[in-house]
Amino acid sequence: MRLKTVLWAAITFAVLAYLIAPIAVLIYSAFDDGKFFRFPPRELSLRWFREALASPEYRSAVLNSTILATIASVLSVAFGLMAALGLTRGPLRSRPIVEILLLAPLTLPLVVWAIALMQIYARLGLSGSVGGLILAHTIITLPLSVRILMATLSNIDPNLEDAARSLGARPLRAFARTTLPLAMPGVLTSAAFCFLISFNDVVVTTFIAGASWMTFPVRMYSQLRGQGVDPITLAIGAMIVALILVIVALGEARFKWSRRL
């Protein structure tokens, strides 16, 4: 028994190490003093962290990305929840077909999406508008949130909601009190994925976004091809990772978040 526990832990930590090692490389390289991405770093310094904080371009780019990803992921999860409810509670017959149709967009590379959207937008005069950009991000994340939420909802017994309703609760209230709390892990998972995909999208945003909505990854990639990786982006990446870990650790310590998931 003892040995088995150790073995489990060993496998787990090996997988975790595999996931985290490349990120650790980046974070460590962010402390290099030079203008180029090098590992291991030659001379340690905080130069790029200082420059990242001082750069108005990067500040606004990270802010743009955050706002965009927040709105897009909220919209995507809201629509996704409605679609998933309809699909899991609706007639069973058509379900596999609709499920496949919903997965089909996920099998197209984003560059194909980007070009299609760009042409549609150009025709509608939506090019460069914020609304168009939010719409595009909602569209590319929607199939993902629907898929995750369907998996979640199919595990939840709809009779619970019916029971609540038969006890006199209004439909919306019945849903909010029974199904929604049970679906919370799925909602949070899909929100996290949608946020990350939207925050990091380059391909679609490059083609759709206007000049006043430069996002962080677009700025990063636009420099990559000519000049190589801007060490500022490494520093920003390191700060984002650190920030998330701190928030999670604090949340855990104060509110025991994970118990509620």
Partner 1 sequence: MSIWSQPTGSLIVDPTPTIKNYARIAGDGYYIRGLLRTLWLSLATTALAALLALPLSWWIVRRAGRFRGLILTLVLIPMVCGALLPTLGLMNLLGPLGVINGTLKSLGLIDRSWKLLGNQTGILIGLVHAFLPLMVLPLVSALDRLPRDVEGAAMSLGAKRLQVWRRIILPLSAPGLIAGSALVFCAALTSFVTPLLLGQGKVATFATMAYQQASLVLDWPFASALAMVMLAILALIGTAAWGAQKWAAET
Partner 2 sequence: MNATSRLTLTTALTGFVLAASAASAQDFSGQTLVVGTWGGDIERLLKEHAAAPLEAATGAKVEFLLGGSGDRMAKIYAERQNPTMDVTFQNIYEAPQLLADDLVVAPDPELDMYKNVWEGMNDGCYAMSLVGLGIAYSKDLVSEPPEWADMWNPDYKGMIAMAPYPSSEGDGLLGVAARLEGADEHDADVAFAKVAELGEPALTYTSLDEVFALMEAGEVAMAPMISGYVLAGLKEFPGIGFSFPSDPGPVLIRDMVCQVKDSPNPELAQMFIEYALSAETQKAYAEEIYFGPTNSTVELSESAAADTINSPEEVDSLLALDWPWLIEQRADWTERWNKDIMGQ
| Residues in Cβ contact with 251 at an 8 Å cutoff, skipping those fewer than 6 apart | 257
Instruction: Write out the DSSP string of 242-260.
Output: HHHHHHHHHHHHHH-HHHH
Assess 194 for contact with partner 1 (CB under 8 A): no
8 binding partner (options partner 1, partner 2, none; Cβ < 5 to 8 Å by kind)? partner 1
104 binding partner (options partner 2, partner 1, none; Cβ < 5 to 8 Å by kind)? partner 1
249 binding partner (options partner 2, partner 1, none; Cβ < 5 to 8 Å by kind)? partner 1
Closest to 247 in 3D by CA, of 232, 236, 235, 257: 257
Residue type, 180: L
Closest to 102 in 3D by CA, of 118, 87, 122, 85: 87
By CB under 8 A, name the one of 33, 37, 139, 223 that touches partner 1.
37
Closest to 46 in 3D by CA, of 61, 62, 27: 27
Please report, as ranges, the residues that interact with partner 2 according to CB under 8 A: 34-38, 115, 118-119, 121-123, 125, 127-128, 206-207, 209-212, 214, 218-230
Furthest CA-CA distance within the chain:
69
Q: For residues 71 and 151, which CB has a smaller minimum distance to partner 1 in the complex? A: 151
Element housing 171 (H / E)? helix 171-174
- Write out the residues near partner 1 by the rule CB under 8 A: 5, 8-9, 11-12, 15-16, 18-26, 29, 37, 39, 96, 100, 103-104, 106-112, 115-116, 144, 147-148, 150-152, 154-155, 185-186, 189, 192-193, 196, 199-200, 202-203, 217, 220-221, 224, 229, 233-234, 237, 240-241, 244-245, 248-249, 251-252, 257-258, 261
